[in-house]
Amino acid sequence: MRNRLTVLTLAVLVILVCSDGMLGQTAAPQRTANAPAPDISGVWRHSRRAPDNTRKYTLGEIVGSIGVIPPMTPWGAAKFKAAKPNGGANGVSLAETNDPQTKCFPPGVPRIYSARLGAPFEIIQIPGKVVMIFEYDHFVREIFTDGRQHPEDLNPTWMGHSIGKWEANTLVADTIGFNDKTWLDGAGHPHSESLHLVERFRRPSHDAMTDDITIDDPMAYTKPWVAHEIFELKPGWDLEEYVCEDFLNFKDLENISESPK
């Protein structure tokens, strides 16, 4: 009887020790299927200051921060050489530029975040989708979170087709189906219809939201890279009406270094 008790005691101790070890190695709890999604709703604007809050971003950082761009393919290099941006090292006047945005064409993604010097946008969360409404020309982007996949017969569009899922506190948005008529930034970096974006939206604090954007376009660039955007919450703000018409609104930007908002 004593031997049996000893064996049972040792077995319990082994179980407890193993359980403690397993608990110590357990990953952070994941969001369950029925748990409410994290809240990233509200009106947001491209941040005007660096994360350490020690300086303001320059105009170039606001309108063209898409990370360290890898070498381009011959196709991409030819497209970039043909670009005539209004700013940067190769900048020309507004009268000479062939920037599609200054002709009032949609900016596309990710450039929509820096349009009109980073104009605000609103995120609305409803069951099955996250909706982004941009002040710039009131473009609407839907990120479907209902489990659907991308259609197999997508027609190329300005904003692409987006599906998303929640990973813990991060919204992961996958977007394909772009046309090749937009630039990635104000410097004229091109993309093809093969552009594939994976964005990871996260709210590290109440007043801040980050977006890590993996940009993959094998027709234009030799490898993918990651861009990093930071947005600041603007409680109490409403989206105003902004309509790009006949190229006239962009003339004001030649003398503006930062939005009055």
What pLDDT score was predicted for residue 116? Answer: 84
Give DSSP secondary structure letters for 64-106.
H----PPPBPHHHHHHHHH---SSSTT---TTT---GGGGT--
What pLDDT score was predicted for residue 51? Answer: 66
> In the chain, what are the domain boundaries?
43-255
DSSP state of 59: H
**Tokens 């009268």 — which residue?**
95
Confidence of residue 54 (pLDDT cuts 50, 70, 90): low
Q: Cα torsion at 74, 77, 82, 85 (round to 10°)?
A: 160
Which amino acid does the sequence have at 49?
R
Confidence of residue 170 (pLDDT cuts 50, 70, 90): very high
Is 0.85 surpassed by the pTM of this model? Answer: no
Asked if pLDDT for residue 42 goes beyond 90, the answer is yes
Confidence of residue 60 (pLDDT cuts 50, 70, 90): low
Asked if pLDDT for residue 210 goes beyond 70, the answer is yes
Q: Cβ distance 83 to 172 under 8 Å?
A: no
Residue 184 has which token pair? 């990635």
List Cα–Cα distances, 26 to 20, 169, 172, in angstroms: 10, 18, 23
Rounded mean pLDDT, 119-139:
96
**Tokens 């994941």 — which residue?**
30
Length of the chain: 261
Q: Cβ distance 190 to 102 under 8 Å?
A: no
Closest CA to 163 of 172, 218, 204, 93: 172
Q: Cβ distance 138 to 122 under 8 Å?
A: no
The Cα–Cα gap between 122 and 136 comes to: 11
